[in-house]
Amino acid sequence: MKKTVLAGIGLVSLLMLGACGSKEADSSDDTKKVGVLQLVEHPSLDNAYEGFKEGLAEGGYKEDDNLKIDYQNAQNNQDNLKSMSEKLVKDEPDLLLGVATPAAQSLLNVTTEIPITVTAVTDLEEAKLVKSDKKPGGNVTGTTDMVPIDKQIDLLLSIVPDAKSIGIMYNAGEANSKIQADLAEKALKKAGVEVKTKTANTTNDVQQVTESLANETDGIYVPTDNTFASAAAVIGDVVKEKKIPLVAGSTEQIDGGGLATVGIDYKSLGKQTGKMAAKILDGDAKPEDTPVESADTLKLVVNKDMAEALGIDPDSIKEPK
C-alpha cells in the first residue's frame, strides 16, 4: 500500500512539474516579435527608433523580456529596402515599424495583413500609406513628422530680415521633402522673397549644392530630408565658412550644423509611435481605426556655436508667434 501511495504522490508531483513547465512555455509564447525597417542611419531617424522602443516599454513590452526586435537598416539603398522588407515579413512578426517614408512604403508593398506602424513620415496620405489620417482604413498607422513650415520660414526671415533671396535644398526623390519644399517656397514668395531651389540625389552632391546656394542667397532652408540630414556636418562646414544662416526642418539637423529651427523632437515622436504600437500588440487597437498622430510638442533649438561663428547673438533668436 505504501508503495502504491508513494507512486501516486510521485505521479502527481511529475504532473505538477509538467504543468509548471507548460506554464513557462506558455509565457515564452507571449513574447511579441516586431520587425523594424529604417531607411538610413542619421540622428533624426535613430532617435525616432530609440523613442519607439521607449514607447513600447511604457506600454509593457521590453526587449529581452517579452519582446524580440529584428532591426534592419537599408542604408538608403532601394535594393536593400526590398530584400529587407521581404525578410521581415517572411519571419511573420506581430507588428512592423517603418522609419521614414520609403521604408514604410516598402513594407506595405510586401504585406497588407501584418500591422505596420510608421514614424518620421511627413504625409501618410500623399505617400499612399493610408486612405486618410483620421481613418487609415488599412494595416498602416503611425506618426507624421510634418513640421510647421510657416513658423520655420518666419524664423529664418527674422534672422535675415533684409534677405532678398533664400535658397531651398532637398532631394527631389523624397516625396516628403518635395511637399515641405513646395510649402516653404510658397511662404517665401508670399513674403516677397526670391526663391532659389537646388536638389541633390545623393549625399555626394550635397556639398556642391550647399556651396552654390551659399554663394547666391542670403539664407538657406532645408526640410526634414534624409539625404541632407545624413550630410549635416558637411552642410555645417559650408554655411559656417560662408557665414550663411541655415534653418532646418528638424532639431537634429541643427545639432549637426544648422543655425536654428522650431521643430519636433524625433525621440518624442518615436515614443508616441511606440505607445500606439503597444496598444495594437495588446489587441486594444487596430491600424485601420487608429488615427495618424502629429508631434505632441515643438521646440525652438538654437546652435549657439554656429550663431557666434556667424556673428549673431544666440539670445536674439526667438520663436515666431
Q: What is the distance between the alpha carbons of residues 312 and 12, in angstroms, rounded to a whole number?
A: 81
pLDDT surpassing 70 at residue 301: yes
- Count CB atoms within 10 A of the CB of residue 43: 18
Closest CA to 99 of 77, 79, 125, 71: 71
Instruction: Give which of 269, 217, 273 is closest to 243, Cα–Cα.
Output: 217
**Residue labelled with grid coordinates 502629429:** 294
CATH for the stretch 32-145+266-295: 3.40.50.2300
The percentage of the chain sitting over the pLDDT mark of 90, rounded to a whole number, equals 85
Residue 29's pLDDT is: 67
**pLDDT given for residue 8 in this prediction:** 44
Whether the domain at 32-145+266-295 and the domain at 149-264+300-316 fall into the same CATH topology: yes
Q: Across-strand partners of 48?
A: none
Contact between 117 and 141 (Cβ < 8 Å)? yes
Q: Give the tens place of pLDDT for each residue, 183-200.
A: 999 999 999 999 999 999
For the chain, the domains span 32-145+266-295, 149-264+300-316
Report which secondary-structure segment, H or E, holds 212.
helix 206-216
- What is this structure's pTM? 0.82
Burial 296-314 (b: 16+ CB within 10 A, else e): eebebbbbeebbeebebee
Q: Which pLDDT tens digit goes with each residue over 201-257?
A: 999 999 999 999 999 999 999 999 999 999 999 999 999 999 999 999 988 889 888
Name the CATH code of domain 149-264+300-316 (choices 3.30.499.10, 2.60.120.10, 3.40.50.2300, 3.20.20.80): 3.40.50.2300
Furthest CA-CA distance within the chain: 104
pLDDT at residue 257, as a whole number = 86
Percent of residues, the chain, with pLDDT higher than 70? 91
pLDDT score recorded for residue 317: 97
pLDDT at 202: 94
Kind of pairing, strands 95-99 and 116-121? parallel
Copy the grid coordinates of residue 64: 529581452
CA dihedral 125, 131, 137, 138 (to 10 degrees): -70
Segment 57-68 shows an average pLDDT of: 97
The pLDDT value recorded for residue 1 is 44
Find out whether 239 and 220 touch, Cβ atoms under 8 Å: yes
Asked if pLDDT for residue 315 goes beyond 90, the answer is yes
